[in-house]
Amino acid sequence: TGYYYYTNKKLPWDTEEFIFSILVFSLICIMTIAYEKSNTFLLDKLKKKAEYDELTGIFSRRAFFDVLKYECERAQRYDTTLSIVLMDVDHFKKINDTYGHHTGDEVLRNITRLCVKSLRKSDIVGRVGGEEFACLLPETGLASARHVAEKIRRVIAESRFDDLPGCTISLG
């Protein structure tokens, strides 16, 4: 194009065609960028849905087990301790049957909040079943894990929420 312009003193296309081509090219670039941004947004949203439990906001079963595998490998590599506390809401079916699933969902959300508040930031909580949860406690030995489990059990047993039934949990 440069040589053609140099020898003929004009471009090989009309000005309108040139402007139209630039506009089409610009539109294609803008659409490509918008498409890429929307794909990135949707993929991030999809990843979040896969990693976090929609009801409680904590790790989903799959994400929790991925983190568990990583932490087990890390504990072996650095020869550190690692504990897991498993939790199950006592008589949860009775709560759902008596008060309804909406109330049961609120109970699970409240239990999750209390559990997360009772743990360190480095501890990981996941929902591994309907009313089953697991707490991963990196660099925590058996005695400390028992203490943490008892603290969670006591906090939940002593908590009362407006218009919600009290509940207890079993831990191991």
Which residues, 6+ apart, have CB-to-CB distance to 86 below 8 Å? 128, 132, 133, 134, 171, 172
Tokens of 171: 């831990």
DSSP 85: E
Q: State how far the Cα of 152 lies from the Cα of 107, in Å rounded to an integer.
A: 15
Q: Which of 131, 132, 139, 158 is catalytic?
A: 131
Parallel, antiparallel, or unpaired for β 82-89 and 169-171? antiparallel
Provide the residue count of the chain. Answer: 172
Give the C-alpha distances (Å, rounded to integers) separating 113 from 107, 156, 157.
10, 10, 14
Nearest to 153 by CA among 85, 76, 78: 85
Let me know if 132 is a catalytic residue: no
CA dist., res. 168 & res. 65, Å (int): 25
Q: Which helix (H) or strand (E) holds 151?
A: helix 142-158
Q: Which residue has tokens 């697991």? A: 134
Residues assigned a catalytic role: 131
